[in-house]
Amino acid sequence: MLYGAKCWPIEKSNARKMRVTEVRMLGWCGHTKRDKIRNEDTRAKVGVAPMENKMQ
């Protein structure tokens, strides 16, 4: 997903789109908003860092 991202300037709109996509992908782990599980908890369970940290 971040292939070739070295050369993009990170704008707020791009960062937001990446966050939305990341949360949707985390949703594939079987959790929905109705479960009210925080994104940080899901990331810790899966073992991934936030996408924004990887983009910097």
pLDDT at residue 24, rounded to an integer: 84
In this prediction, the residues of the chain whose per-residue pLDDT falls under 50 are none
Structural domain range at position 46: 11-55
Sign of torsion over alpha carbons 10, 11, 17, 22: positive
Residue 2 lies in a domain: no
Six token digits for residue 4 = 């070739």
Residue 6 lies in a domain: no
Residue 36 lies in a domain: yes
How many H-runs (helices) and E-runs (strands) does the chain carry?
A: 3, 0
How many domains are contained in the chain?
1
Residue 4 lies in a domain: no
pLDDT at residue 34, rounded to an integer: 80
Residue 3 lies in a domain: no
